Amino acid sequence: MFVTRTGPHVKMKLVVVTGCLGFIGSYVTRACLEQGWKVYGIDKCTYAANLSLLNEFLDNENFTFVEEDIATLTYLPDCDYIINVAAETHVGNSILDSTDFIHSNVDGVKNLLDVVRFKPDNICAKPIFFHFSTDEVYGDITTGSHTEDDLMNPSNPYSASKAASDMLVKAWARTYDMKYILLRPTNNYGTYQHTEKLVPLSVKLLQWGKKIRLHDGGTPVRNWLHSADTAAAVIAIIKSGVQDEIFNVSGGFEQTNKETVKKIIQEYYSIDTSWEDYVDLGYKRLGQDVRYSLDDTKLRNLGWEPRKIFNTEIKGIVEFYKNKFYW
């Protein structure tokens, strides 16, 4: 088995992280390396991959990297966990053309599951399939919060592709006796996010002197979760040893997109400026969800809780994208 021993009978974990150079995947990769685990990183290196992070990870002797598409790969090393973060994630892009979303989020997951399924288990147990899902598989909810027992009700091609992959994971687990974890996080934010997403895109548009387009008057409500807290949830679940479970993970802080952009504008200009002058509220999105909200009591019972506070973090994140990001 591909492991290292740090002492008699002490096994170092080996995890495979797909999408390791993506936004959330890079946070997960870093968190695993900080645990002293070996990480076998896989990334297709598409437009959303941050190649500047590769040197940082390769400086760690516990990191190995391969450039590969999860929909076509044929090999995975013996390991403890497959943490599948690789995915196409932009809702707007999925509405324009869902082809890449089906390829990565459905066909890619099916291929990964089959590679795990056909791995021989005479030397070591098959890995646990730790799959990243999304709060969007539940659809919107006007009051209250979704629990893990709620039915999925996706409302756009992106969330439908993620719901399909969740069903594949559960079906393969039951049919082929595979172990799994499904993680459903709310809206993630942090540094090194691709500029198609709301926070970095807003800063980019302000840099260019263009208005920030908010669909449906900026009224949709999103729950914000820092990706460092998402990665910490992964570590907490793995350390707990639980398996065959679904976990919601929430930042515990929600606001309208209009309120989010208002804070970005105020931090960008460092003054209480008239934010309405910088936004266009006339955009409409097909299949728009009104509000996402998750109950993550189950995860918190493992001892996890979010440590990053949006209103505290947003200043530094705006400064990061304003001064350090290469457009």
Give the whole-angstrom CA distance, residue 89 versus residue 158. Answer: 7
User: Which of the following is catalytic: 81, 158, 268, 278?
Assistant: 158
Q: Catalytic annotation on 136?
A: yes
For 42, the 3-state DSSP assignment is strand
Is 34 a residue of the active site? no
Contacts of range 77-80, beta carbons closer than 8 Å, 24 or more positions apart: 77/2, 77/14, 77/16, 77/40, 78/1, 78/2, 78/14, 78/119, 78/123, 78/124, 78/127, 79/2, 79/14, 79/15, 79/16, 79/40, 79/127, 80/13, 80/14, 80/15, 80/127, 80/128
* Catalytic, out of 43, 69, 135, 229: 135
Query: Which residue's structure tokens are 């730790």?
Result: 130
Tell me, yes or no, if 149 is annotated catalytic: no
Instruction: Tell me which of 136, 166, 229, 296 is the catalytic residue.
Output: 136
Q: Which of 247, 299, 260 is nearest to 135 (CA)?
A: 247
Q: Which residues are catalytic?
A: 135-136, 158
